[in-house]
């Protein structure tokens, strides 16, 4: 269960003679040190008229994109902002050490902790160029960014980047780590163009990802492929796909159907159906949290029951009641302080379960729940690179690698499988690999991830 986030009131006192209001604009990454542990904070401020708008993320608490309210700047250049996320309030008093660093004291419930924010600088290199085309698939728009090397009169191989589960914007920014943006810039520096795009209903793209099926999303990518063939700077005979996690399922499906796809990269992508992936996740999370074998078995059985009920599409009310009761039982184990902040446990559990079941009953989820990606891998005749994280707790390396290898040996694909031992699902250098750790890690790939990608492209995809 996601941890509850206390309301935070952050107040910055900024030296008027050194800094202007513009100093606050941009992305900041920092932490509050609480009892020797750093709680990561990510903030983003942008101008809106004469004031600011902003958001805050608290990754360890899985809180992302919380809107900041009442952002103010006073004549002495202090800054005030707040957000509501619970019952309590907290405050921060700090100052700029320079234009890129803020330090101060964080106050909450009568306690004081050190706090720091560091500006996240944008890459200002001119080794690549960007254009932002918008394509159309029937009645909705697909908006994205084509990034390519900063040279004239050249044609470049192009990779279309396909994001993982959930509605992602084009950079696939997960808790302050813009995964696709980093890949696009690196590959442009190494002679390769990329196209990354907003999923349906996010950013500048229209439509709804939950109302679309796997086949619908595959047609979006096919439209992108056909459109990029006509774009200046794109070599139409060297277009490939890179799918991260669930995006790899879409990539494999299209690569198996469309001969215009000349190579495929699967980045922590399932080779097993989503229903099996989810059960593996439940089992691995439970063991990592120190549950007993009997508790792990109970959680796995509950997940299997959910999938079976969804397949039969019957007794959904009974399933909901069971899940609410189970959730209340789990909530009862929390410390009294946390339970008091939740309020009525049954009402809270009912909202949580209703939201989860609604998502699992969407056309998209139903279309992908039991879809077998291995059936597409078997049909491939192109170079394929499969990258897995040895510490990935979402798409476990061993079972998915094993299924992929078994399937690809039956195909005509020139394939390579690489496991980066220290990597998590985002290919960060990980400690545990658990999702709750993502935001506390460096927003960077492991040392060998990007070089492995570019070397394979040169030696296999671009031959």
What are the pLDDT digits (tens) for 143-201?
999 999 987 668 999 999 999 988 899 999 888 789 999 999 999 999 999 999 999 99
Range name among 24-33, 92-101, 334-343, 402-411 with the lowest pLDDT average:
92-101
Q: Residue 108: what pLDDT? A: 65
pLDDT of 81 > 50? The answer is yes
Give how far the C-alpha of residue 54 lies from the chain's centroid of Cα atoms, to the nearest Å.
20
pLDDT of 229 > 90? The answer is yes
* Tokens coding 431: 């400690």
| Neighbour count for residue 240 (Cβ, 10 Å) | 26
Domains of the chain, start order = 8-119 (2.40.128.20), 128-273+371-461 (3.40.50.1820), 274-367 (no CATH)
Q: Residue 89: what pLDDT? A: 61
408-413, Cβ contacts within 8 angstroms, sequence gap of 24 or more: 408/377, 408/378, 408/380, 408/384, 410/378, 411/377, 411/378, 411/379, 411/380, 411/381, 412/380, 412/381, 413/377, 413/380, 413/381, 413/382, 413/383, 413/384
pLDDT of 463 > 80? The answer is no
What do you get for the CA distance between the two ends of the chain, in Å?
48
pLDDT of 16 > 50? The answer is no
Q: Where are the beta strands (DSSP E) in 275-366?
A: none
pLDDT of 100 > 50? The answer is yes
CA–CA distances in Å: residue 190 to residues 149, 162, 186, 451:
8, 20, 7, 10
Q: What percent of the chain has pLDDT over 70?
A: 85
Q: Mean pLDDT over all residues of the chain?
A: 85
Nearest to 374 by CA among 393, 414, 401, 398: 401
Q: Residue 3: what pLDDT? A: 37
* Tokens coding 188: 């442009």
What sign has the CA pseudo-torsion 272, 455, 443, 134? negative
Please tell me the pTM assigned to this model: 0.78
């Amino acid at each position: 269960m996601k941890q509850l986030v206390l309301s935070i009131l952050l107040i910055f006192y900024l030296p008027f003679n050194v800094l202007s209001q513009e100093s606050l604009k941009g992305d900041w990454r920092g932490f509050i040190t609480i009892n020797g542990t750093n709680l990561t904070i990510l903030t983003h401020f942008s101008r809106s008229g004469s004031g600011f708008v902003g958001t805050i993320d608290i990754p360890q608490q899985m809180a992302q994109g919380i809107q900041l309210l009442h952002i103010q700047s006073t004549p002495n250049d202090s800054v005030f902002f707040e957000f509501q996320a619970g019952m309590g309030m907290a405050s921060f008093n700090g100052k700029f050490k320079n234009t890129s660093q803020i330090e101060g004291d964080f106050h909450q419930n009568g306690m004081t902790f050190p706090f720091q924010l560091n500006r996240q600088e944008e890459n200002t290199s001119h080794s690549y160029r960007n254009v932002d085309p918008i394509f159309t698939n029937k009645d909705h728009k697909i908006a994205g960014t084509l990034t390519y090397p900063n040279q004239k009169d050249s044609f470049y191989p192009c990779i279309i980047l396909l994001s993982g589960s959930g509605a992602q914007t084009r950079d696939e920014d997960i808790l302050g780590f813009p995964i696709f943006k980093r890949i696009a810039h690196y590959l442009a520096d190494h002679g390769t163009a990329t196209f990354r795009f907003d999923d349906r209903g996010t950013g500048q793209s229209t439509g709804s990802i939950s109302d679309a099926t796997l086949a619908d999303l595959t047609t979006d990518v096919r439209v992108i492929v056909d459109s990029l063939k006509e774009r200046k700077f794109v070599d139409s005979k060297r277009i490939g796909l890179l799918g991260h996690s669930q995006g790899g399922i879409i990539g494999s499906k299209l690569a198996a159907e469309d001969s215009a796809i000349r190579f495929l990269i699967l980045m922590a992508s399932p080779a097993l159906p989503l229903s099996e992936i989810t059960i593996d996740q439940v089992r691995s999370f439970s063991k990592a949290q120190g549950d007993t074998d009997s508790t792990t078995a109970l959680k796995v059985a509950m997940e299997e029951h959910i999938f079976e009920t969804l397949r039969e599409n019957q007794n959904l009310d009974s399933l909901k009641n069971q899940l609410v009761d189970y959730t209340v039982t789990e909530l009862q184990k929390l410390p009294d302080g946390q339970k008091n902040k939740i309020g009525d446990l049954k009402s809270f559990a009912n909202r949580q379960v209703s939201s989860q079941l609604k998502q699992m009953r969407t056309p998209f989820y139903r279309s992908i729940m039991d879809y077998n990606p291995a059936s597409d891998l078997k049909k491939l005749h192109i170079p394929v690179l499969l990258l897995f994280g040895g510490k990935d707790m979402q798409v476990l390396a061993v079972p998915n690698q094993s299924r992929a290898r078994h399937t690809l040996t039956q195909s005509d694909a020139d394939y390579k499988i690489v496991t980066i031992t220290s990597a998590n699902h985002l290919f960060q250098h990980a400690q545990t690999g658990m999702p709750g750790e993502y935001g506390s890690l460096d927003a960077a790939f492991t040392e060998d991830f990007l070089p492995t990608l570019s070397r394979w492209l040169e030696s296999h995809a671009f031959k």
